[in-house]
């Protein structure tokens, strides 16, 4: 009988401020736990009884103690066969086969999105992790190519593993009055955006595009999920100009997100750069038509199941939205295409391909 593959999986990125990395860490570790022949040792610098405030105060100390030394010692003590760091932080030294997930190379491709110090730090952390790893996991062929061309990593060391969509993301019948009561969304067609107000998410261009949409569909509203506050004066001015046609529920639960995806006229995802981009897949799984950027990894994810637009052109984004709002046949076709496309992405499949990367890392050693 074959011995179990014992995987040391660093789950501390599940507390990351990045929603994507946090979800990746949680959902992949859960899927690995369901994988036959795999035993997952979840490694962290706290236990389940630690309060949220205590976890927050420990973040700074991770750079000083947990990643430099504690993580490797804990993994070695647990007698694991391979160590997986799903974020950019890794031990200073480890004798274990090391797998690292690199989510993007924005600090090379778009350094203007960071402060000068922030870009330098990101380049240092990502390049160090990528160069020390026995195997690198990325979420798309696009990110793999970026890592090769911009960071200088050999393609043979990189495994592209598409992310998954949680099984809870499926179409449900949403009651308009429930959405009105819970989120303040009136019983009219609404366009949905899910993200954070960082520059690469391109919210300002979407707001300008939605102003154009309102000229032909004045009853439509725009629902922005994931924003608790805005510190960008230009974004604030754009939202002020659109007035009550913009609704901001803030952060919502996954169950609420399913309800919103299921009820929306379409999801708009005009991001300028993504290592993968989960919202379009989640939306398609729930039967939402998708209008998405034609840049970076997004066409690779959406395929022919959505409308791809020039994310820098408000007119093109507006045209994509209007095609769905004003043409029911197009919307119906995209809903069916999206559900079929989303079936290609599962966390169990992601776990299976990640295990292949573990075995490749072990073989390298």
The string of pLDDT tens digits covering residues 218-255 is 999 999 998 766 667 788 888 889 999 999 998 899 99
Q: Are strands 38-43 and 5-10 parallel, antiparallel or unpaired?
A: parallel
Query: pLDDT at residue 25 above 90?
Result: yes
Token digits for 194?
């899910």
> What is the spatial distance between Cα 40 and Cα 86, in angstroms, rounded to a whole number?
14
pLDDT at 51: 56
Strand ranges for 294-344 from DSSP E = 307-309
pLDDT at 58: 58
pLDDT at 17: 57
Architecture of the domain whose range is 5-164+346-364? 3-Layer(aba) Sandwich (3.40)
Query: pLDDT at residue 59 above 80?
Result: no
Q: How far is CA 260 from CA 32, 114, 144, 257, in A?
A: 29, 31, 32, 5
Query: pLDDT at residue 1 above 50?
Result: no
Query: pLDDT at residue 99 above 70?
Result: yes
- 50 contact partners, CB below 8 Å, separation of at least 6: none
Q: How far is CA 22 from CA 12, 17, 57, 103, in A?
A: 9, 7, 18, 12
User: What's the chain's length in residues?
Assistant: 365
pLDDT at 320: 98
Query: pLDDT at residue 55 above 80?
Result: no
pLDDT at 49: 44
Query: pLDDT at residue 48 above 50?
Result: no
pLDDT at 199: 87
pLDDT at 88: 87
Query: pLDDT at residue 54 above 80?
Result: no
Q: How many CA atoms lie within 13 A of 133 on its CB side?
A: 31
Helix (H, G, I), strand (E, B) or coil at 89: coil
Confidence of residue 358 (pLDDT cuts 50, 70, 90): very high
pLDDT at 69: 83
State mean pLDDT over 325-342.
97
Tens digits of residue pLDDT in 284-311: 999 999 999 999 999 999 999 999 999 9
Query: pLDDT at residue 335 above 60?
Result: yes
What φ, ψ does residue 222 adopt, rounded to 5°? -110, 125
Q: How many CA atoms lie within 13 A of 11 on its CB side?
A: 19
Neighbours of 121 (CB within 10 A): 14
What φ, ψ does residue 94 adopt, rounded to 5°? -155, 140
Q: Which of the 8 DSSP states describes residue 254?
A: H
Q: Which of 39-53, 54-68, 267-281 has the highest mean pLDDT?
A: 267-281
Q: Is-same-fold flag (5-164+346-364; 176-342)?
A: yes
> What is the spatial distance between Cα 148 and Cα 120, in angstroms, rounded to a whole number?
19
Query: pLDDT at residue 217 above 60?
Result: yes
Query: pLDDT at residue 47 above 60?
Result: no
State mean pLDDT over 167-173.
95
More confident residue, 324 or 176: 324
CATH topology of domain 176-342: Rossmann fold (3.40.50)
Domain-wise residue ranges, the chain: 5-164+346-364, 176-342
Tens digits of residue pLDDT in 113-142: 888 999 999 999 999 999 999 999 999 999
State mean pLDDT over 39-65.
66
Burial profile 153-168: b = 16 or more Cβ within 10 angstroms, e = fewer: beeebbbbbbbbbbee
CA angle 260, 262, 264 (to 5 degrees): 65
pLDDT at 197: 81
**What does pLDDT average to over the chain?**
91
Closest by alpha carbon to 87, among 14, 173, 163?
14
What pTM does this model have? Answer: 0.90
């Amino acid at each position: 009988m074959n011995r179990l593959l014992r995987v040391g999986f660093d789950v501390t990125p599940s507390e990351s401020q990045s929603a994507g990395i946090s979800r990746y860490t949680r959902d992949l570790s859960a899927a690995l736990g369901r994988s036959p022949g795999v035993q997952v040792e979840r490694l962290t610098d706290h236990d389940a009884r630690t309060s949220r405030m205590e976890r927050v105060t420990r973040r700074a100390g991770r750079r000083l103690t947990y990643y430099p030394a504690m993580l490797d010692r804990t993994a070695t003590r647990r007698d694991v066969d391979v160590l997986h760091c799903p974020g950019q932080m890794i031990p200073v030294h480890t004798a274990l086969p090391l797998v690292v997930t690199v989510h993007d190379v924005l600090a090379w491709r778009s350094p203007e999105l960071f402060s000068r110090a922030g870009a330098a730090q990101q380049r240092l952390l990502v390049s160090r992790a990528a160069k020390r790893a026995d195997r690198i996991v990325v979420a798309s062929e696009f990110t793999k190519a970026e890592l090769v061309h911009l960071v200088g990593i050999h393609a043979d060391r990189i495994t592209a593993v598409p992310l998954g969509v949680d099984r809870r993301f499926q179409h449900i019948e949403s009651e308009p009055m429930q959405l009105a009561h819970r989120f303040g969304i009136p019983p009219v067609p609404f366009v949905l955006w899910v993200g954070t107000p960082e520059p690469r998410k391109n919210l300002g261009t979407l707001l300008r595009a939605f102003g154009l949409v309102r000229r032909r569909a004045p009853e439509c509203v725009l629902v922005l999920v994931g924003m608790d506050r805005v510190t960008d004066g230009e974004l604030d001015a754009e939202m002020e100009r659109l007035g009550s046609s913009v609704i901001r529920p803030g952060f919502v639960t996954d169950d609420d997100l399913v309800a919103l995806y299921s009820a929306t006229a379409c999801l708009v995802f005009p991001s300028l750069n993504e290592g993968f981009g989960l919202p379009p897949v989640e939306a398609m799984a729930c039967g939402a038509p998708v209008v998405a950027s034609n840049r970076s990894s997004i066409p690779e994810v959406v395929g022919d199941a959505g409308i791809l637009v020039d994310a820098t052109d408000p007119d093109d984004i507006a045209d994509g939205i209007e095609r769905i709002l004003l043409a029911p046949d197009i919307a119906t076709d995209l809903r069916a295409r999206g559900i079929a496309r989303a079936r290609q992405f599962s966390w169990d499949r992601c776990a299976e391909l990640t295990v292949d990367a573990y075995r490749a890392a072990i073989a390298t050693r």
